[in-house]
Structure 1
């Protein structure tokens, strides 16, 4: 019971950004140690070990799952070891220490999920918490401001505060909601998870429960749309198609889902078309043009960092610092930031060694889940669709690689999907 409670609490915290400042127990003040999630993950892992690591022997007997776990463990060790050669070694060694700690804890915690998690419980929790996040998101849109929920991790946002993500279409200025996340795109990723899982449940359920899940689908889908996260929109489309292929449900089971989705999409299109056009790059709104240009610049800088250290990389978490030094040599009015493509980010920071481990762990975990689709097809397919969604998001955003809650959510879903 304590083990399942710890796993459940971890997945609840993955859907938000609850921080502890200063870190508890006199721990070093790192970005990683400020996350309540990190401490719950470590406590859950300790409980699992104290119980004799239930399920670990079965994991080791499964070649694909064992290879996925081994690759992730080696990735964590490699990331932590990169403190020895990181670009930030003399500037701020805590940068790589924090990133390395995150990957080590994620790697070990994923063993717990792969060995002992209960898929159905986790899916129910993620839908429930995602629905609450959706309610907060829509309230933020209605107010065009935050709700004063800082104790739950909500960041302060308003139309008049600098540094916020704002869309502009003519005289219409729209503050993109961020929920409990630092950025609307991160919120979009979380809402993709809830929308996909609610979709899967809506196709399985009957009677009153189906209506409930259809309502939650409408809620999370609308909240996802108003984040205006293009990567999340694309991820939902690709992962939704993958879910349809994997579930093999009769078309009549999908019809209510399609009707609800079409209705919500139509309402959104009619209400927000000028903002949608601006977000799509139609017209000459400087905010959107700048967003695209910045991504191109950081892609070029990542390729430069890779060329400098192709084998071992610049060090975990170090690319934003390295890019800041590159920018000093240019005329760009930018601060250092992460490249918006996870595979380039991994290669730039951890080299070809880290990239190989990352891809190996991910592919082996997904393939292991696909091979077991005949058993518990619906829930397994839902979690695999989430894993695919994060792959798509990672082609355009960095947070599935750089932010603890999203890293853990992604790899946790892969591990749970591959369970026997």
Structure 2
């Protein structure tokens, strides 16, 4: 209900009016057959996945530290649509999800943490001077939790999801690579790109030998967040190597190469470790696929050798920066990393 009231408040319409956004959406959803309801929810999920590497805010976004700060992000709206559509569809798929005890524990953990987030706002730091900070954080966590539960309940066609992430990985990687090449913004302010500049003290750089090297931001607010988005997309796209379609396999390999190079250029140590950890989790799956589809094992060999080659090229090209990020050099050289 918090989300319903929030959506209606945003539009400045009284919650009890019959033409509120939530009431209109409810009537639209309930009028559709079940399979169309599922497709509406899945459409919202896919749109959210497509926009997640985007930090774009609307022009009339609420001020920072306000209660509804989260509503200023474009990404919030497909998430809210997905949650409301799932709610008005009768919580489709939740009963099936409840048949798995582990998933039930996961759902209750998310709900419990969301309740705790709202409760803890009563004793949050600066609750007197900026009470909206804690509440907004709780709303963010609750929104993400409900979206995750809705996604797990309804499910998604994996082929569509992987294709979407492959496309997202390519364009997101190219943006970061271009930012590194130009050492600045590339004119995508209309998509939310920050006015990044290595001479500014507000952006993350690596300084060495008197030069400031700008890390890529993509369309997000920090290189580490950008790198984290790349890691997620890379892990999702790995199964494309075993697609029955040759075009999909090679397209997936190309997307992975672009993503890996952009990830290296981010100099995000946490994301590098995250990719290794994710790869270890996927290792049993990779081994099974290797045994089942020997003919396509060459793609894995190609991926491995290409990754090794990228690593060698990266090491030789950015050796001094790499040493600085590894902490082997003067620690004062690294700024805002």
TM over 0.5: yes
Matched, 1:255 2:293: no
SS at match of 1:174: strand
1:135 corresponds, among 174, 193, 208, to 174
- Structure 2 vs 1, CA of residues 205 and 258 (structure 1 numbering), >3 Å: closer, same or farther? farther
1:58 corresponds, among 79, 85, 96, to 96
Deviation at residue 168 of structure 1 after TM alignment = 2.1
**1:183-207 deviations in whole A, cap 9, x for unaligned?**
1111110111122223332244553
Conserved 8 A contact 2:199-2:212: no
Deviation at residue 8 of structure 1 after TM alignment = 0.6
Conserved 8 A contact 2:231-2:263: yes
1:69-218 equivalences in 2 (<5 Å): 69-120=107-158, 121-204=160-243, 207-218=246-257
Query: 1:136 and 1:55 mapped to 2: Cα distance?
Result: 37
Q: Find the counterpart in structure 2 of residue 358 from structure 1.
A: none
Q: Find the counterpart in structure 2 of residue 281 from structure 1.
A: 327
Deviation at residue 123 of structure 1 after TM alignment = 2.7
TM-score, L = length of structure 1 = 0.65
Deviation at residue 156 of structure 1 after TM alignment = 1.2
TM-score, L = length of structure 2 = 0.80
Q: Please, what is the CA RMSD of the aligned residues?
A: 2.0
Query: 1:104 and 1:207 mapped to 2: Cα distance?
Result: 41
Deviation at residue 283 of structure 1 after TM alignment = 2.0
Deviation at residue 29 of structure 1 after TM alignment = 6.0
1:221 corresponds, among 228, 253, 260, to 260
Conserved 8 A contact 1:15-1:126: no
Structure 1, gaps ≥5 residues long: 293-420
Deviation at residue 271 of structure 1 after TM alignment = 1.1
RCO comparison, higher one (Cα < 8 Å, 6+): 1
Deviation at residue 151 of structure 1 after TM alignment = 2.0
Q: Find the counterpart in structure 1 of residue 272 from structure 2.
A: 233
Conserved 8 A contact 1:22-1:29: no
Query: 2:220 and 2:61 mapped to 1: Cα distance?
Result: 19
Deviation at residue 122 of structure 1 after TM alignment = 2.3
Q: Find the counterpart in structure 2 of residue 267 from structure 1.
A: 313
How many aligned positions are there?
Answer: 288
SS at match of 1:18: coil
Query: 1:29 and 1:78 mapped to 2: Cα distance?
Result: 17
Conserved 8 A contact 2:165-2:237: no
* Larger of the two Rg values belongs to structure: 2
Query: 1:282 and 1:210 mapped to 2: Cα distance?
Result: 39
Matched, 1:47 2:85: yes
SS at match of 2:206: strand
- Structure 2 vs 1, CA of residues 242 and 147 (structure 1 numbering), >3 Å: closer, same or farther? same
Query: 2:199 and 2:244 mapped to 1: Cα distance?
Result: 45
Q: Find the counterpart in structure 1 of residue 17 from structure 2.
A: none
Q: Find the counterpart in structure 2 of residue 246 from structure 1.
A: 285
Structure 2, gaps ≥5 residues long: 1-38, 292-296
**1:25-77 deviations in whole A, cap 9, x for unaligned?**
xxx66331212222221111111222222211111222111111111011111
